[in-house]
Chain A
Amino acid sequence: MNVVAVAAPPPVPLALMDVLQITLLVLVGAGATAVALIRSPVRQVIALSAYGLLLALLFLAFQAPDVTLSELCIGAVALPILLLLALAKVRRREE
């Protein structure tokens, strides 16, 4: 293994990284607002899926690829499936 004390320069310039993080933070804030304020449960679930995707991108910008992977599987895929199944059950009884 190459043990060099000098750190390699970051692959993305710092200023660009800051811009990326701020953009994603703003998007996450807006996404959370949208998810919390949408009243129709089915639309809210779709918004939640998009919000999960935004969170995953933010975590990637925070140098946390493992949390990204976790959030991608759970927030963007597994949670919407669970919620839609529950909603299908509840709506069927309401019809």
Chain B
Amino acid sequence: MQVFPFIVVAWVLAVGLYGIVTSRHLIHQIVCLIVVQSSTYVLLLGIGYRRGAVAPYFSDIPVHTPAVDPVVQALALTDVVVEAAVTALLLSFAIQAHKRFGTLDPHELVQLKG
């Protein structure tokens, strides 16, 4: 349990990158990028986690209760939302590319450019 979450992080990152490298479809690539990015959330929250601690909300518990790190949670939280907006931007580029060149295969797109 000491390092297992971080191994999972590396696995998610690697498998997402593998998807991007072997992809033949731009939208498929974008989805793989989402997977790659999701590994960072697991990493951040994994670092901030403390065994036996509670979530950092002190509405109904005393302030001295041991709680997990709120800073990494704040980072992950905004990342998730920004990721969606960036995905939308990438998707609009993919639509535009499809409109211009009639294909979403990155290999064919490279040949068209060259």
Contact = CB atoms under 8 A, between A and B. Distances in A.
Q: Does A touch B (CB under 8 Å) in the complex?
A: yes
B65 to A, nearest CB: 5
Interface in B50-76: 51-55, 57, 61-68, 73, 76
Contacts of A89: 95, 98
Contacts of B68: 62-64
A29 B76 CA distance: 18
B18 A36 contact: yes
B77 A67 contact: yes
B8 A62 contact: no
* Dominant SS among interface residues on chain B: helix
Interface string B1-37: 1001100100110011011000011011011101100
A39 B31 CA distance: 11
Interface in A1-36: 1-5, 7-8, 10, 14, 18, 21-22, 25-26, 28-29, 32-33, 35-36
A18 B4 CA distance: 11
Interface residues of A, number: 49
* Dominant SS among interface residues on chain A: helix
A14 B84 contact: no
Contacts of B39: 32
Interface of B: 1, 4-5, 8, 11-12, 15-16, 18-19, 24-25, 27-28, 30-32, 34-35, 38-39, 41-42, 45-46, 49, 51-55, 57, 61-68, 73, 76-77, 80-81, 83-84, 87-88, 91-92, 94-95, 98-99, 102, 104
5 contacts: A22-B1, A36-B19, A59-B76, A64-B76, A82-B88
